[in-house]
Amino acid sequence: MAMHLHNIGEQYRDGSFTWVADDAMLYAVAVGAGATDAGLPFTTENSIDVELHTLPLFAVILSARVGGPSLTRAGDFPMSSVLHVGTTVRLSEELPCAGAGYGVRSIQSISDTGKHAVVAMDTALHDADTDAVLATVTTTTLIRGEGGFGGEAPARAPEQPHERPHGTLHYATRPDQALLYRLTGDRNPLHSDPTLAAKVGFDRPILHGLATLGIAAAQLQLHRDQTRPVREVTAEFSSPVVAGDALRTEYWITPDATHFKVWVEDRVVVKNAAISYA
């Protein structure tokens, strides 16, 4: 197997996509924004005196619609060795509730842990009419067993504060949370097929990491009633979640961001996470 370091920085226009308000609202419901009236601006389009908005992480749904075998440009390796370990979304402004766009993908970096390779892939979401970049989604992937090629070590993520958190939020995921989230477009059967889940070592299908992150980010946005525009959401995934698990989100407030960490019982499942504001 070989990693294709020569492809770092090359840009590829991979596909066009469209979305409507129903897509944005379905995503908001799938990450729990409909649990209280505070979520009405994201889950309804006809509530009195309520304007429809999109959640920042709706960008990951649009990124998935770009399509294309982009990760294969990073190297020759079996897809069974791939593990999604992190996501960053950078927004130029709040995403429109409906529109059309196209994606431009590029490999940001290919790093070497010694044992594994780490690939960071950017997907820039462009408006179809103006060509403006609406958002950029960076997906970080661990390629198991493909390290040792002499590349640079991955950059270390800034650690979260060690002091006592400023607050804690709780969310009990639904037993059908993964089935609901998959309707947003992520149809990976690992999250729905018990037989496949068992083949890769899980007792039952696991919840999408992006669903766990989406729930925590939506909770924080609704709980804190933020009026400042979100410019970036970033996180690393460290342990699987099963639909029905209870999530505990601890957060720390700084002038420009809310840092957070998500737990299931005594396990950290999302770490080095932050929502940054304009």
2-143 domain in CATH 3.10.129.10? yes
| Cβ(197)–Cβ(11) below 8 Å | no
pLDDT tier, 81 (very low <50, low <70, confident <90, very high otherwise): confident
Return the pLDDT at 159: 73
136-147 tens-digit pLDDT = 999 999 999 999
Distance CA 37, CA 1 (A): 52
Return the pLDDT at 62: 97
Mean pLDDT for 63-91 is 89
Please provide the DSSP assignment of 170-234 as one string.
EEE--TTHHHHHHTTT---GGGT-HHHHHHTT-SSPPBPHHHHHHHHHHHHHHHHT--SPEEEEE
CATH of 167-277, one of 3.10.129.10, 3.40.50.2000, 3.50.30.40, 3.30.1360.120: 3.10.129.10
As given in the structure block, the two tokens for residue 4 are 């294709």
Return the pLDDT at 200: 84
Query: In one letter, which amino acid is 258?
Result: T
Mean pLDDT for 25-43 is 96
122, 186, 208, 245: the active-site residue? 186
Return the pLDDT at 240: 96
Distance CA 188, CA 242 (A): 15
pLDDT tier, 1 (very low <50, low <70, confident <90, very high otherwise): low
The boundaries of every CATH 3.10.129.10 domain in the chain are: 2-143, 167-277
Q: If you average pLDDT over every residue of the chain, what do you get?
A: 93
202-223 tens-digit pLDDT = 999 999 999 999 999 999 999 8
pLDDT tier, 163 (very low <50, low <70, confident <90, very high otherwise): confident
| Beta bridge partners of residue 35, listed in sequence order | none
More confident of the two residues 81 and 177: 177
Backbone angles phi, psi at 216, to 5 degrees: -65, -45
pLDDT tier, 224 (very low <50, low <70, confident <90, very high otherwise): confident
Contacts of 125-133 with CB under 8 Å at 24 or more apart are: 125/59, 125/62, 125/63, 125/66, 125/101, 126/101, 126/102, 127/99, 127/100, 127/101, 128/16, 128/99, 128/100, 128/101, 128/102, 129/100, 132/92, 133/92
More confident of the two residues 255 and 43: 43
104-128 tens-digit pLDDT = 999 999 999 999 999 999 999 999 9
| Beta bridge partners of residue 253, listed in sequence order | 258
H runs (alpha helix) in the chain: 21-30, 40-43, 59-65, 177-182, 194-199, 209-224
126, 191, 208, 259: the active-site residue? 191
Mean pLDDT for 172-188 is 96
Residue 161: pLDDT over 80: no
The answer to whether 186 is a known catalytic residue is yes
Return the pLDDT at 155: 84
